[in-house]
Amino acid sequence: MTSVETNAAPVFTPEDVEGNKVMAGLAYILFFLPLVVCPDSPFGRYHANQGLLLLLLGLGGSIILSIIPIIGWILLPFFGLFVFVLAIMGLINGFGGKGKPLPLIGKYQLIK
């Protein structure tokens, strides 16, 4: 068995984590990279999913806040900083070999 779900934080095999943690970390820069380089890795797919969720949050939130006059424009830099902090957290988790979900968005799964 390659991946077991426990308390919303999946557990991966040590071989999978060691072999694919660089690709998992890079998933927060280019979410599809682990899907291309290591498509059979549950650890890589997990972080690709997290990277995709982060990308969608960043794009969607930026578009919505840029449409809202004044208040949205004021909140936009803070939102960008929030997305940046989430990306750094994801990079640290991916390169560190952890399968920890990102706050707020980590519980959703788009890539299975």
Cα dihedral: 74, 75, 79, 82 (round 10): 100
Q: Work out the burial of residue 42: count CB atoms within 10 Å of its CB; fewer than 13 is exposed, 13-18 middle, 19 or more buried.
A: buried
DSSP label at residue 2:
-
What residue has token string 């424009």? 73
| Nearest Cα residue to 26 out of 75, 76, 90 | 90
**φ/ψ (deg, to 5) at 12:** -115, 160
Residue 19 Cα distances to 7, 38, 44, 108, angstroms: 24, 9, 10, 25
| Nearest Cα residue to 105 out of 31, 53, 59 | 53
Domain boundaries, the chain: 53-104
List, for the chain, all residue ranges whose pLDDT scores fall below the cut of 70: 1-9
What pLDDT sits at residue 11? 82
Instruction: Say if pTM beats, i.e. exceeds, 0.95.
Output: no
What pLDDT sits at residue 112? 82
What pLDDT sits at residue 8? 55
| Nearest Cα residue to 85 out of 54, 110, 48 | 54
